[in-house]
Chains A and B, each alone.
Chain A
Amino acid sequence: MQEEAPPSLARGSLCAVGIGIRAPLQTTNEAAARIERADKVFSLVADPVAELWLTGLNAGTESLSDLYRTGVERSRTYEAMVRRILDAVRSGLRVCVVSYGHPGIAAYPMHESVRRARAEGFAAEMLAAVSAEDCLFADVGIDPVHGGCRSYEATDFLVFGRAADPAGNLVLWQIGAIAELSYQTHRGAWNPHGLEVLTGVLLQTYPPDHEVVVYEAARFASCMPKILRLPLRDLAQADVTPLSTLFVPPCERAAVDETMLQRLGMHP
C-alpha cells in the first residue's frame, strides 16, 4: 500500500525575492532566475515599470496590490496577501513572491509567508536584495560600521521609546507614515503631527541646528536620489513623503572605554 507523502516532500515551494529599489537594474541574476522559472509569481512592487518587466519575465505574474484598500488596517491587507500566496503553494506550484527593495525589510507578508510555508512542510526561502537603506549608505556616503548605526521604523522608535545614541548613526524608516496603520494615497506626510512629535523627541538628544538628511532613493534609471539636508529644527516642515527615510549623523564622538582597551590588550 502506498504511503502518503510526508509534508517535506510536498511539491509546492516558495521563494521570496526583492528586486531592489531601481528594478531591474538592482535586481540580482539569482532573483531574476527564480522569477523566470516560477510556476506562479505574486508581485508586491506597485511600480508599473517593474510590473511590466516582471510580466515579460514571467507571464504568470499577478499583482497583490489589488488587496490594498484606503483606510483599511495594513495588517488585514497583509494577512490577505499571505493567504493568497500560501494557497498557491498548497496547490503544488513553485511560487515566487516579489517585493520592492529587500524582501525581508519592512515586509511582513514576505516573512510570514516563508514562515508558514516552512511550518507546513514546504520548501521556502528568501533571497537578499538591495534595500532603501543600502541605497542611502551609497548615496549619502555613510559607512555604518564607522560609529555604528541604529535603524528603526519611525513609529516603532517613538512608541517603544528607543534610545538615540548621539555618538552613532541613526536611520529612521517611514517618517512620512508615523502612527498611520492604514493605507493612504495622498502625497506628502500621512501624519504631519507625527513628524512634529518625532522632531521634538530627537531634539531631546541632538541640537536644533544638527544637520539631518531626508532621503529617498532614485526609483528609475537616470534619476537622482532625493537628498534633503536640513537642520533638525526644520524637520517637521520638510518635504516628506511615505517613502522618505531620515538619516541622523552623530553629533558627538563616542568616549573610549579605557578599561576595555586594557582588557583587549589594545594599549600601545
Chain B
Amino acid sequence: MAHPSLVQYLLKLATDADELERYNAAGEDERRALLEAAGLTAEQCDAMISADSERITEEVTVEVKRKPHAHRGMHYTIQVQLDLHPCKKKHHHH
C-alpha cells in the first residue's frame, strides 16, 4: 500500500519539525484532514485526535500485528528488576 501507515506518520511527526508544527497548529477538522491525507484509517484518526498515548499505542499494535514483518513480543513494558536479595545488593549500593 502506498499510503504511509500510522507508525510512519508518528515517525514523521517526531522527525519533521515543519509537519509537527503544522499538525499542532491545526484544529480538529484540519488534523483529521491531514491524517486522512496520510492514509490513516478512521480508527487511527480518532486515536490520534484523542492525543492519548495509550489509545494510539493500541492502534499501533493493531497495525504492527497486521504486517508480516512484525516481530513477536512488540509491546511496551517495564524494565525493572526488583532485587529481593538486599543483603547481597547493599554492597553495590554503597
List, in ascending order, chain A residues with CB within 8 A of B56's CB: 219-220, 223
**Cα–Cα distance between A28 and B5 once the two chains are bound (Å):** 26
Contacts of A108 in B (CB 8 A): 79-81
Residues of A contacting B57 in the complex (Cβ-Cβ under 8 angstroms): 219
B38 within 8 A of A: no
Q: Does B33 contact A (CB under 8 A)?
A: no
A-B contact count (CB 8 A): 120
Q: How many residues of A contact B (CB 8 A)?
A: 52
Give bound CA distance, A45 to B26, whole Å. 30
Q: Is B74 an interface residue (CB 8 A)?
A: yes
The docked-state distance in angstroms from the alpha carbon of A243 to that of B53 is 11
Interface: A36 (CB within 8 A): no
Contact A224 B51 (CB under 8 A): yes
Instruction: Select one of A24, A25, A47, A222 contacting B23, CB under 8 A.
Output: A222
Given A46-B74, A49-B60, A226:B53 Cβ within 8 A: yes
- Give the contacting residue for B86; candidates A67, A160, A183; CB below 8 A: A160
Whether A185 touches B81, Cβ cut-off 8 Å, given contacts A220-B10, A223-B52, is: no
Per the bound structure, the CA–CA distance linking A187 and B61 in Å amounts to: 13
Establish whether residues B14 and A22, one from each chain, have CB atoms under 8 Å apart when the complex forms.
yes
Instruction: Give Cα A108–Cα B84 distance, bound, in whole angstroms.
Output: 14
A63–B76 CA distance with the chains assembled, in angstroms: 13
**Measured CA separation A63–B75 after assembly (Å):** 11
The yes or no answer to B24 lying at the interface (CB within 8 A) is yes
* Binary per-residue interface labels of chain B (33-55) against chain A in the complex, 1 for a CB within 8 Å, 0 otherwise: 00000000000000010011110
- Asked if A113 is at the interface (CB within 8 A of a chain B CB), the reply is no
Is B78 part of the contact surface with A, judged by Cβ < 8 Å? yes
A106 and B78 form a contact (CB under 8 A): yes
User: B residues within 8 Å of A by Cβ?
Assistant: 7-8, 10-11, 13-15, 20, 23-24, 48, 51-54, 56-57, 60-61, 63-64, 70-84, 86
Apart from A66-B71, A242-B77, list 5 A-B contacts with CB within 8 A: A49-B60, A65-B75, A219-B53, A221-B10, A243-B76
Binding site for B on A (CB under 8 A): 22-25, 44, 46-49, 51-53, 63, 65-68, 74-75, 78, 99-101, 106-109, 153, 155-156, 159-160, 173-174, 177, 181, 183, 185, 187, 216-224, 226, 241-243
